[in-house]
Structure formats: C-alpha cells, structure tokens
Amino acid sequence: MTQRDVFEYAVVRVVPRVERGECFNAGVLVYCRARSFVAARTHLDERKLMALDPNADVTGVRAALRAVEGVCGGGDGAGQAAGDDAGRRFRWLIAPRSTVVQPGAVHSGLTADPAAEVERLLDLLVR
C-alpha cells in the first residue's frame, strides 16, 4: 500500500474591492510537513475579476499571485522568506490579511503525492 501523509491546503482568493468582500478563487496552497513540501498554483480568471471590479489592476493581481507561487518555491523568488523552511513559508502565506489577494481557511487531508494534490485542487476549486 502507498504511504499517505497528512497535508494542509488553503484556497487563494482574489478580493478586488476589499470593502465589498466579494471574492473568487484564484489558486491553492498545499503543505505536507512529512515531505517538507509546499507549493502554490494559481489561475486568474480575468472575466471574473473585471465583473467584480471593471477598474481592477490585472497586472498587479497577476504579480501578487506570482509572488505567492514564488514564496512557496523558495530561493530568490521567495524574497525575505528565502531562508525559511516549507512550513514557515506556508504559515506566512496563510496568515490573514486585508489585501486583494487573500488566503482562505485551512483544510487538511491525506495524500500519497502532494504535487498531484496541488493540481487536483486547482482543477476542483479554481478552474
């Protein structure tokens, strides 16, 4: 039987006008402590963004989503979090914030393949 490990995940959502609270899913974060794995995948639906805010800064939202992926990847793309382990980077990304790109609630599950889980969740919850 394949070993399955606990993983945590959160949806990354876009809230174009924070004061209104309207949002849509634009990515997922996945963390598996047992494998020191953290990753994010994003997908911006520009039609949804423009429906909620016709004046939205599409370039800025894309940059914020890329930054989430960069922090997960570590190294130069992680900025100040470059030296942090996978768990610290995940915890930093899921911390509540009042910005256009926000993390949702954290959920957990079991997986034999965290990388495949990222893609599965992106398809299920975002695309």
What are the pLDDT digits (tens) for 2-49? 899 999 999 999 999 989 989 999 999 999 999 999 999 999 999 999
Beta strands in the chain (DSSP E): 5-14, 24-32, 37-42, 101-111
As a whole number, mean pLDDT of residues 50-57 equals 96
Residue with tokens 């911006």: 44
As a whole number, mean pLDDT of residues 83-106 equals 92
Q: Does position 76 have pLDDT exceeding 80, yes or no?
A: no
Q: What is the pTM of this model?
A: 0.92
Which helix H or strand E contains 70, and what residues bound it? helix 58-73
